[in-house]
Structure 1
């Protein structure tokens, strides 16, 4: 390359442009490196600028060859040539680990709106079936009277409808035409839902689908789990700091609230390292970020194009070479060299590590972990149901025992020798003696064919059964409250 000298071995898109300009315009290149403060250039607030723009303002360099964004504030202290690149701001994040969401594989085939509608339909259909069976005149005749189980009981109706949704059905099938019509439509609905769910579940288990947690900068800010940053000392910092756009204001406020010193780091690699750690979004030019995505398959570039930006070469303010450089840049643009260099440095084909041929993916334990969680949920609900049933049974037994004591043990009408006695009625004498309930049964005992007949008597007591047959045919017994009847030989 004639008439050019290099003090540093630089290469890249901008170096291709400046080398072409040097060859076409016959000037020598003397590279001085970057600015002492490693900044692109921001307004210091007192009329001076930092970074490369400050070097131009102080006339320390003649030209800046780099991706400098063209903005009105900078044009007050420097001149821009014809833009050589058009780009947008975007956000780079790391793809979330798909294993973190595998616990919900069982519910992922349907969106939450579909699951909610299915749950409401199940409860509503169970109630309708219960009412159709409960008040149907079809069952007001034999042999359907006094049915102890069936869909006329809500519990049985619900479990039948739930079993039908799992394409299994239930034990109790309605006999009325209204109930069977309802069941038929529910079965059609259940078959469609089951087939759709099964097909999607297979796809979720066999195909790994990387889904971004958000698609826009506004969603990133509202996510709550992510922090974000941008390149300090650049136009991006100035744009977000002074912008009147609500989203940009929220983003800048979030950067200040995080108090992260690296959120405005001057080093591009620091931001990329934070992105690789995870839960961090890096706001920068889309072209540079896309180049990194092409070489790292764990990174994801949000599809939103936030703000348009133009890159151009910069010269000293009022330079006589500004128009000459602009015309030459237009000639390079029209020749198609810019597009050729872009394809050279931004390769569009993405290649990720992995097998070149399609292989069958084995199902890992992490893929089906939700099934085991489902078993745990079922055991927990079953334990709760067991506790509730035992409590209800104990409550019912207490009520039954209290009712029997009230019916059998009555207030004594006579007191004799400190004991309560009730007159004999129908050959039965009930009283309280020595703290026990005493039942006396007077009956005649007749033996038939050498056997003693049995009589069924009601027992109510709080002790143990101690039968005592005396010569008068009286049986004195102390019984358990929980025993209802006993057959006793007389």
Structure 2
């Protein structure tokens, strides 16, 4: 037994109380050895990290006995408990190294330290192929107005080359208006087509069409790959009400805070699920979180409700799971100690010191790297405004092509007129030469 000075008394200064409270002055347990038990749960990793830090701060140690076949415990009709909580009741151990959820029934059997972490509930289902893919998914990379713009662009190109062909008086026997239109269609399909174009206006339009088609096809292929890589999930339900209406079996681990939340619900969907799915099938419920995940993976239309951090940190996932948020109250996890233990307050005090100093947060981040819940897809379609610069370049190329057509037409008329005038002069000269008298040498 150790004694501590509450203060110092003298005749001049009277009573001078020592600074701090009882637990701040009681910094050492002088090598006190605790007897601890564990069932090697997913919360045991953080629990052991935290308990080792607490024992070092209190100058004490602990000896743990692991019971892999036990669970935290269930309350019997005579108010006694089974499992690890039963060992605390019997005096066989002083503390449980696994962080347990604080519930009303457990607080009647054991003492809890200050909460180590705060957790929320999650609804977990098997990660199956829940996508919104359908027969029109190939059109998802572009918005509807952009698809209409692409179709209008193809038709505009065909109209332009037809007008330019007849306006330029192209008498090339190797190409016709139909052949040029097919060349434009082949360009947007990224297929080669043998077209002989002699006019520079038609060449410019054809080149701008091919460049436009290449850029649009590259954007489409990139968005298709992004669409396939990002799983656009279309989940069968988004909350407990929809899960119940869809005929899913909802399971919890008996004796946990999730089970008590359903059990003590006075109304609403929680009470309905408890009366129809949990209480009538009590003996078919999973005993541990790992067993609950196994039921979720192997049983059809089965989902599992549990603490989010416990499921994320579990290393034994039989299959990939999707987490769905549910509107249920938060829960607290802490160390369970024997009832009326003299060490509950000092452990809680040291726990709060670790929290305020930030050590508890760092221990939580290093002990488990939880997987993030499903956030859905961030896939975005290509909008019409994204293609506006390309369309502007396309219209500029068409305008330049029409200017070239006008220039070629003017040039054609000038050369044709010059050729016709030269031909008439040549015919007159030839006629004169023909009618000249022939002189003998």
- TM-score (norm. length: structure 2): 0.50
Select the residue among 192, 197, 217 that pairs with 2:240: 217
Higher mean displacement: 27-36 or 84-93: 27-36
CA distance in 1, matches of 2:265, 2:118: 20
Contact 1:87 1:308 in 2 (8 A): yes
CA distance in 2, matches of 1:348, 1:319: 33
Residue number in structure 1 paired with 2:54? 21
Which one has the largest radius of gyration? 1
TM superposition shift of 1:98: 3.9
Select the residue among 252, 255, 259 that pairs with 1:237: 259
Tell me the SS of whatever aligns to 1:53.
helix
Judged with a 3 Å threshold, the aligned counterparts in structure 2 of structure 1 residues 279 and 203 are, in CA distance, closer, same or farther, namely farther
TM superposition shift of 1:18: 0.8
Judged with a 3 Å threshold, the aligned counterparts in structure 2 of structure 1 residues 261 and 204 are, in CA distance, closer, same or farther, namely farther
Judged with a 3 Å threshold, the aligned counterparts in structure 2 of structure 1 residues 328 and 33 are, in CA distance, closer, same or farther, namely same
Contact 1:78 1:314 in 2 (8 A): yes
Contact 1:70 1:312 in 2 (8 A): yes
CA distance in 2, matches of 1:325, 1:228: 37
TM superposition shift of 1:58: 1.8
Residue number in structure 2 paired with 1:282? 304
Tell me the SS of whatever aligns to 1:29.
strand
CA distance in 2, matches of 1:275, 1:247: 20
TM superposition shift of 1:202: 7.5
Alignment of 1:82-481 (within 5 A): 82-98=114-130, 102=133, 104-106=134-136, 208-224=231-247, 226-256=248-278, 259=281, 261-262=283-284, 264-277=285-298, 279-291=301-313, 298-347=320-369
Judged with a 3 Å threshold, the aligned counterparts in structure 2 of structure 1 residues 219 and 7 are, in CA distance, closer, same or farther, namely closer
TM superposition shift of 1:91: 1.1
TM superposition shift of 1:67: 2.4
Tell me the SS of whatever aligns to 1:92.
strand
Judged with a 3 Å threshold, the aligned counterparts in structure 2 of structure 1 residues 345 and 218 are, in CA distance, closer, same or farther, namely farther
Tell me the SS of whatever aligns to 1:28.
strand
Select the residue among 23, 43, 49 that pairs with 2:75: 43
Judged with a 3 Å threshold, the aligned counterparts in structure 2 of structure 1 residues 205 and 270 are, in CA distance, closer, same or farther, namely same
Unaligned runs of 5+ in 1: 111-197, 353-357, 359-490
CA distance in 2, matches of 1:35, 1:349: 25
Select the residue among 80, 83, 103 that pairs with 1:71: 103
TM superposition shift of 1:28: 2.1
Judged with a 3 Å threshold, the aligned counterparts in structure 2 of structure 1 residues 324 and 58 are, in CA distance, closer, same or farther, namely same
1:140-183 deviations in Å (ceiling 9; x for gaps): xxxxxxxxxxxxxxxxxxxxxxxxxxxxxxxxxxxxxxxxxxxx
TM superposition shift of 1:348: 5.3
Contact 2:126 2:319 in 1 (8 A): no
Tell me the SS of whatever aligns to 2:272.
helix
TM superposition shift of 1:295: 8.1
TM superposition shift of 1:63: 1.0
TM superposition shift of 1:228: 2.0
1:286-335 deviations in Å (ceiling 9; x for gaps): 11223359989932100224221001112121111111111011111112
TM superposition shift of 1:41: 2.6
Q: Which is helix-richer, 1 or 2?
A: 2
CA distance in 1, matches of 2:125, 2:328: 15
1:107-143 deviations in Å (ceiling 9; x for gaps): 9999xxxxxxxxxxxxxxxxxxxxxxxxxxxxxxxxx
CA distance in 2, matches of 1:33, 1:220: 37
TM superposition shift of 1:16: 0.4
Tell me the SS of whatever aligns to 1:306.
coil
Tell me the SS of whatever aligns to 1:91.
strand
TM superposition shift of 1:258: 7.3
Residue number in structure 2 paired with 1:390? none
CA distance in 1, matches of 2:303, 2:58: 42
Query: How many residues in Structure 1 have an aligned counterpart in Structure 2?
Result: 258
CA distance in 1, matches of 2:295, 2:105: 31
Contact 2:290 2:316 in 1 (8 A): no
TM superposition shift of 1:205: 7.2
Contact 2:289 2:306 in 1 (8 A): no
Tell me the SS of whatever aligns to 2:350.
helix
TM superposition shift of 1:271: 1.7
CA distance in 1, matches of 2:127, 2:355: 36
